Amino acid sequence: MAELIVMEKIDGSPVAWRCSDCRQKFSVRGKLTAQERCKLVTAEFKSHMEERHKAGGPAREMAFAAGVPLPE
């Protein structure tokens, strides 16, 4: 199953991701908390999975590259 991979961080916080399967980019910028950003990009990725990859089950929680902690 495809995962989100962090592509860019600003001040240590992820702001841009890509799909591990098709490399589509996802970006959430602006004055948001890490939690808000995570929620928005996860919803966008879920829609992407349903439309582009015909995912049968629910989208997994965001997977970050090694060394990037999940927001609390």
Higher-confidence position of 54 and 3: 3
Is the whole-model pTM more than 0.85?
Answer: no
Q: What DSSP state is assigned to residue 57?
A: S
What pLDDT does 26 receive?
A: 92
Q: Please tell me the distance from the alpha carbon of residue 23 to that of residue 48, in angstroms, as a whole number.
A: 12
pLDDT digits (tens, 9 = 90+) for 17-62: 999 999 999 988 778 888 898 899 999 999 999 888 875 544 445 5
Task: With CA atoms as reference, report the closest residue to 4 among 21, 70, 53, 31.
Answer: 21
Residue 63 has pLDDT above 60, yes or no: no
Q: What is the dihedral of CA 10, 11, 13, 15, to 10 degrees?
A: -10
4-20: per-residue pLDDT in tens? 999 998 888 888 999 99
